[in-house]
C-alpha cells in the first residue's frame, strides 16, 4: 500500500513537472515553429527527450497529422504504461489566434519507478543508518558503563599485584557513583595502609643509603676533578700551556689519517727561535721563559681554532694545519715570522728582540705517518737556518 501510494504521488508530481516544462517551452515553440524545417524540429525534439522525465514528444500540425513522433525507448522495451500532457500551439496575429498544431510530452511508468525506488533506497539507507547508530550507541553504553570499567579494574589490580611500586593506586578513567567506585576506594585504602607499613620499615635503611651515596658521590667528583687535572698536565707544556710533544704527535697522527681518508691536504710547520741560547745567556732564563711564552701567544693569535700548536723542544714549536695546502701554510708561516721579527719584548727595562727560522711541508697521498712529515719539515727548518735564519723554507 505504501509503495502504491508513493507511485501515484510520484506520477502526479512528474505530470506537474511535464506541465511546467511544457509551459516553459510553449511560448518559444509557438513563435518559431512555423519557421523551422524538419531538421530543426528533430533537433528540438531530441533536446527535449534528453530531459530526465521526458520519454517521448509528439508534434502535430494544424490537420492533426504527426510532424514528429519520437520516443526515447525502443519498441522492444516499451514501458508498462505512459502518461502525457498536451497543449495547443497558436500564433497571435492582429489580435487573432491562428491554430498551428499541438505538442504532447510523454513520460512513463519507468521514470516513476526509478524515482520511487530511489526514494525507497534513501529510506532504506536512512533506516540502516539509524539502526546502526542505535546498535553502536548500545555497544558504547555497555562498554562505557560496564565492560570497560570492569576490564580496567581487573588490569589495574593485576598490575598492582605484579608491581614493586607501593605508591600505585587504582584509578578508573570512567567512574560513576556506584558499586565500582566504592570498590575502587576500598582497594586504594588497603593499598595506602600497606604502603605506610612498608615506608616505616624502609625509612632507616633509606637514610643510611642516602648518606652513603652522598659520600661516594663527593669522593667520585673529587677523583674526576683530579683525573682531569692530571690529564691536562700530562698533555700540555707546563710553561707555555700548549700541547707537549707526545700529545701533539698523537693528535696530529689522527688528523693525518682522517685527511688521507677524506683525500684532503694538511700542512706541517716547524719553527725554532734563532740564537735562543744567547737570549738566556744575556738576559737570564727568566727572560728566556718570557720570550717562549710571548712566542707561543703570538703563534696562537695567528692560527685557527682547529689548528694544533705545540712546544716540541726547548725552543722548537710545531703547528699542524688541517685542510691547508702548501701555499696557504707558507703564507701563515711567513706571517708568524714577520710578526715575531717586528715585535719586541720589554723585561726589567730591557728590550729583547728575536727571530724565527721556519720550515713548511704539506702532506702527499702516500703519507701515512706523522713522523714522515716531521722528518721532511725538520730538513726544511735546518735549510732555513743554513741560509741565514729569520726565513721560511718550503
Residue 99 lies inside a defined structural domain of this protein = yes
Give the mean pLDDT of the chain.
83
**Looking at 90, 115, 140, which one is the last position of a domain?**
115
Q: 346 and 382 in one domain?
A: yes
One domain for residues 215 and 254: no
Per-residue pLDDT of 334-372, as tens digits, reads 999 999 999 988 888 889 999 999 999 999 988 889 999
pLDDT: is 391 or 221 the higher one? 391
Sheet bearing 56-61, strands edge to edge: 66-71, 56-61, 96-108, 82-93
pLDDT band at 256 (very low <50, low <70, confident <90, very high): very high
Q: Bridge-partner residues for 361, per DSSP?
A: 268
Cell of 394: 718550503
Asked if pLDDT for residue 251 goes beyond 90, the answer is yes
Strand partners, 71: 56
Residues 10 and 84 in one domain: yes
Q: What is the mean pLDDT of residues 105-122?
A: 80
φ/ψ of 360, rounded to 5, equals -135, 130
103 vs 21: CA distance, rounded Å = 12
Query: Which CATH number covers residue 14?
Result: 3.30.450.20
Kind of pairing between the strands at 82-93 and 267-273: unpaired
265 domain-assigned: yes
**Confidence bin at 270 (pLDDT 50/70/90):** very high
Q: Is residue 120 part of a domain?
A: no
In a domain, 145, yes or no: no
State whether 43 and 183 are in the same domain: no
Measured CA to CA, the distance from residue 225 to residue 221 in angstroms comes to 6
Which residue, among 20, 29, 90, 77, has the nearest Cα to 54 in the 3D structure? 20
Spell out the SS3 assignment of the chain: CHHHHHHHHHHHHHHHHHHHHHHHHHHHHHHHHHHCCHHHHHHHHHHHHCCCCCCEEEEEECCCCEEEEEECCCHHHCCCCEEEEEEEEEEEECCEEEEEEEEEEEEEHHHHHHHHHHHHHHHHHHHHHHHHHHHHHHHHHHHHHHHHHHHHHHHHHHHHHHCCCCCCCCCCCCCCCCHHHHHHHHHHHHHHHHHHHHHHHHHHHHHHHHHHHHHHHHHHHHHHHHHHHHHHHHHECCCCCCECHHHHHHHHHHHHHHHHHCCCCCEEEEEEECCHHHHHHHHCHHHHHHHHHHHHHHHHHCCCCCCEEEECCCCEEEEEECCCCHHHHHHHHHHHHHHHHHCCEEECCEEECCCEEEEEEECCCCCCCHHHHHHHHHHHHHHHHHCCCCCEEC
pLDDT digit string, tens, across residues 27-81: 667 666 666 677 777 777 777 777 787 878 887 877 888 777 878 777 677 777 7
225: containing domain: 163-235
Residues 211 and 280 in one domain: no
Q: Which three cell numbers stand for residue 198?
A: 612498608
- The Cα-based distances of 24 to 16, 111, 227 in angstroms read 12, 21, 102
Question: Given 219, 235, 251, which residue is the final one in a domain?
Answer: 235
Q: Are residues 222 and 317 in the same domain?
A: no
189 occurs within a structural domain: yes
Region 189-208 average pLDDT: 80
Query: Do 179 and 258 fall into the same domain?
Result: no
Backbone angles phi, psi at 270, to 5 degrees: -120, 130
Q: Of the given ranges (62-71, 166-175, 207-216, 330-339), which has the lowest mean pLDDT?
A: 166-175
Q: Is residue 347 part of a domain?
A: yes
Residues 249 and 386 occupy one common structural domain: yes
Pairing mode, strands 392-393 and 356-362? parallel
Same-domain status, 109 and 179: no
List CB contacts of 119: < 8 A, sequence separation 6 or more. Answer: 6, 10
Whether 151 is in a domain gets the answer no
**Regarding beta strands 66-71 and 316-321, do their DSSP bridges make them parallel or antiparallel, or are they unpaired?**
unpaired
Residue where one domain finishes, among candidates 178, 211, 235: 235
Q: Are both 271 and 362 inside the same structural domain?
A: yes
Q: Report the distance separating Cα 291 and Cα 295, nearest Å.
A: 6
> How far, in Å, are 232, 233, 280, 364, 370 from residue 254 at the CA level?
19, 21, 36, 16, 9
Q: Is 209 left (phi over 0), alpha (psi -120 to 50) or beta?
A: alpha
Same domain, 264 and 389: yes
Contact between 58 and 106 under an 8 Å Cβ cutoff? The reply is: yes
* Residue at 132 is within a domain: no
Q: Which three cell numbers stand for residue 116?
A: 520511487
Domain count, the chain: 3
Note the pTM of the prediction, 2 decimals. Answer: 0.46
Are residues 254 and 363 part of one domain? yes
Amino acid at each position: 500500500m505504501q509503495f502504491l501510494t508513493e507511485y501515484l504521488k510520484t506520477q502526479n508530481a512528474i505530470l506537474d513537472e511535464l506541465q511546467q516544462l511544457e509551459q516553459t517551452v510553449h511560448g518559444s515553440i509557438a513563435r518559431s515553429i512555423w519557421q523551422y524545417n524538419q531538421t530543426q524540429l528533430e533537433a528540438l525534439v531530441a533536446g527535449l527527450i534528453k530531459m530526465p522525465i521526458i520519454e517521448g514528444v509528439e508534434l502535430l500540425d494544424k490537420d492533426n497529422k504527426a510532424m514528429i513522433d519520437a520516443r526515447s525507448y525502443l519498441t522492444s522495451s516499451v514501458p508498462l504504461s505512459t502518461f502525457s500532457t498536451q497543449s495547443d500551439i497558436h500564433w497571435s496575429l492582429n489580435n487573432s489566434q491562428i491554430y498551428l498544431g499541438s505538442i504532447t510530452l510523454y513520460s512513463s511508468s519507468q521514470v516513476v519507478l526509478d524515482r520511487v525506488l530511489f526514494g525507497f533506497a534513501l529510506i532504506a539507507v536512512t533506516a540502516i543508518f539509524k539502526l546502526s547508530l542505535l546498535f553502536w550507541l548500545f555497544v558504547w553504553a555497555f562498554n562505557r558503563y560496564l565492560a570497560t570499567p570492569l576490564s580496567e579494574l581487573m588490569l589495574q589490580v593485576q598490575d598492582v599485584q605484579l608491581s614493586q611500586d607501593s605508591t600505585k593506586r587504582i584509578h578508573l578513567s570512567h567512574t560513576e557513583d556506584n558499586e565500582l567506585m566504592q570498590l575502587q576506594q576500598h582497594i586504594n585504602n588497603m593499598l595506602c595502609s600497606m604502603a605506610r607499613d612498608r615506608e616505616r620499615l624502609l625509612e632507616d635503611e633509606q637514610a643510611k643509603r642516602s648518606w652513603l651515596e652522598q659520600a661516594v658521590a663527593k669522593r667520585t667528583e673529587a677523583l674526576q676533578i683530579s683525573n682531569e687535572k692530571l690529564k691536562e698536565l700530562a698533555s700540555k707544556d707546563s710553561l707555555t700551556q700548549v700541547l707537549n710533544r707526545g700529545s701533539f704527535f698523537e693528535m696530529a697522527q689522527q688528523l693525518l689519517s682522517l685527511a688521507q681518508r677524506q683525500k684532503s691536504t694538511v700542512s706541517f710547520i716547524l719553527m725554532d727561535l734563532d740564537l735562543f741560547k744567547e737570549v738566556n745567556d744575556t738576559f737570564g732564563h727568566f727572560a728566556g721563559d718570557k720570550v717562549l711564552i710571548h712566542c707561543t701567544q703570538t703563534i696562537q693569535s695567528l692560527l685557527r681554532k682547529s689548528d694544533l700548536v705545540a712546544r716540541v723542544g726547548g725552543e722548537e714549536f710545531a703547528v699542524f694545519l688541517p685542510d691547508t695546502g702548501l701555499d696557504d701554510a707558507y703564507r701563515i708561516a711567513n706571517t708568524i715570522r714577520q710578526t715575531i721579527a717586528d715585535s719586541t719584548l720589554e723585561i726589567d727595562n730591557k728590550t729583547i728582540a728575536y727571530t724565527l727560522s721556519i720550515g713548511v711541508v704539506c702532506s702527499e697521498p702516500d703519507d701515512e705517518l706523522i713522523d714522515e712529515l716531521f722528518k721532511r719539515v725538520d730538513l726544511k727548518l735546518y735549510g732555513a737556518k743554513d741560509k741565514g735564519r729569520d726565513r721560511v723554507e718550503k
